[in-house]
Amino acid sequence: MATQSAQKGASDPPPRPEQPGKPARYISKYREFVKHEAVKNKSQWKTMGPAKVAVPSPNDFLQKHSKEPKLAPKKKEEDGKKLLPLSVPQRTYRPVIRIKKNFIIKNAVAVIRGVPKKPRPFCVDTRQGDKYPLEPSGLVPKYIKKKNYGVTPKYVTRRNEEIKREEEEYEASVLEQLKKKAMKTLSDEERTNILKISDNWPGYSLDLFTYPQHYYGDLEYVLIPHGIIVDRTERLAKDIMQDLGDNDIVVLCVLKGGYKFCADLVEHIKNLSRNSERFISMKVDFVRLKSYHNDQSMQDMQIMGGDDLSKLAGKNVLIVEDIVGTGRTMKVLLNNIEKYKPKMIKVASLLVKRTSRPDGYRPDCMWLNSKRIDPPRRDRPVFATEKDSGQLRWGGG
């Protein structure tokens, strides 16, 4: 064996020195495989925690007062002996003074004589249900006991005052505008000066009107057309209604000339009464005054026709005449009617002749004041003038 090993060692090459091995290849922890391996065991309970959690033992339950702060243990007194109380009272001691008042009897008398307490109100859900105090239940209207209950709030009062002020300002502005647009109110003198035909009034041409053939050659021109007469008659009716108000009227028509004018005037008053809230009852009667003979005024005057004038006592009388001249005829009629003591007398005239009046009489309601007027002879709707006399007559057809 020795020879073999010697032979083997002599023929073999010398041994090489041992070299250290290579370390393991570096692998980054951020590779996908590494990330997957790191997350594999965390993704299942990433949000809710691990799938299984250790359950506390039943013996470790939360005990009462276990979390309250614990006070430090009391220290034992160094001197365990207590001082004996003094047999003498202290200076601050005040002995109780007994009184002879019997509180038991006093309380009993107070209870007997006292006003019994009102039972506390309750509300019950059902017949055998629970009961609750009534006051806090919301069924008692506590708001009525407030001091400001029923008092208008200040903001409402302020708003109402503003609205009222705005309405007053608006009404004032409207009245101011109406006053600016309103017609001028004429005095009696101004109205009399306007309601008259001037002496140099040329009138209207006959070519503007149609009239019967038997008037051809007799008429020169038209002074007052029919339309104006109708309009002014309606205006007279309005003035009469304003003067007499809601009172009933007894219309006394003076024949013969005043018949047509009276009929139109009464018809206008009836229409105004029907179209307004005031209803006026009217009774029409007729009288005739004979004071002219052949177009000449007589000294003596006769009253003919008409019912018993004594029925006019206490009534509102409206005398309707077509033309008033000197006023003597009307004064006689008024004196006769005043004997029966009517409540009110008004005179309405279509035309008033502009002439001297010794007594200064003027009718209450008139339409026109003219100088060239003679007693009307025909009942026609248009005033015209004759060529020869130049006087105002009914005409036109």
CATH number at residue 303: 3.40.50.2020
pLDDT of residue 167: 96
The domain containing residue 159 runs over which residues?
140-178
Establish if 31 belongs to a structural domain: no
Q: What is the reported pLDDT for 155?
A: 94
The verdict on 211 and 154 lying in the same domain is no
Label the pairing between strands 282-293 and 296-304: antiparallel
Tell me: do 294 and 215 sit in the same domain: yes
Residue 363 covered by a domain:
yes
Residue 181 is encoded by which pair of tokens? 């647009």
Residue 318: inside a domain: yes
| pLDDT tens-place string over residues 40-86 | 777 767 777 766 778 889 998 999 988 999 888 877 665 566 777 77
- Whole-structure pTM value: 0.44
Predicted local distance difference test score (pLDDT) of residue 217: 77
Question: If residue 222 lies in a helix (H) or strand (E), which one and from where to where?
Answer: strand 219-224
Q: What is the per-residue burial (b if ≥16 Cβ within 10 Å, else e) of 97-109?
A: eeeeeeeeeeeee
272 and 373 belong to one structural domain: yes
Same domain, 277 and 314: yes
- How many domains would you assign to the chain? 2
* Boundary of a domain, candidates 178, 198, 228: 178
The whole-angstrom separation of Cα 256 and Cα 269 is 21
Q: Is residue 337 part of a domain?
A: yes
Q: Does residue 207 sit in helix, strand or coil?
A: helix
**Do residues 277 and 382 share a domain?**
yes
203-235 residues labelled b (16+ CB within 10 A) or e (exposed): beebeebebeeebeeebebbbbbeeebeebbbe
Q: Among residues 260, 282, 261, which one has the least CA distance to residue 271? A: 282
pLDDT value for 379: 37
From first to last of its 397 residues, the chain has per-residue pLDDT tens of 445 544 555 567 778 888 888 888 887 877 887 778 777 777 767 777 766 778 889 998 999 988 999 888 877 665 566 777 778 888 888 888 888 889 999 999 999 999 988 888 999 888 888 888 998 888 888 888 888 898 999 999 999 999 999 999 999 999 999 888 877 777 777 766 666 666 677 777 878 877 777 777 777 777 778 788 888 888 888 888 877 766 778 888 888 777 788 888 888 888 888 887 777 778 888 888 776 655 555 556 667 665 667 777 888 888 888 777 777 777 878 888 888 888 888 888 877 776 665 555 556 555 444 444 443 333 333 444 333 433 333 333 2
Same domain? 266 vs 322: yes
- Whether residues 211 and 173 share a domain: the answer is no
Are 169 and 228 contained in the same domain? no
**251: buried, middle or exposed (CB in 10 Å: 19+, 13-18, 0-12)?**
buried
pLDDT at 138: 86
For residue 234, how many C-alpha atoms fall within 13 Å in the half-sphere facing its CB? 7
Distance between CA atoms of residues 38 and 36, nearest Å: 5
Residue 252 inside a domain? The answer is yes
Residue 228 lies in a domain: yes
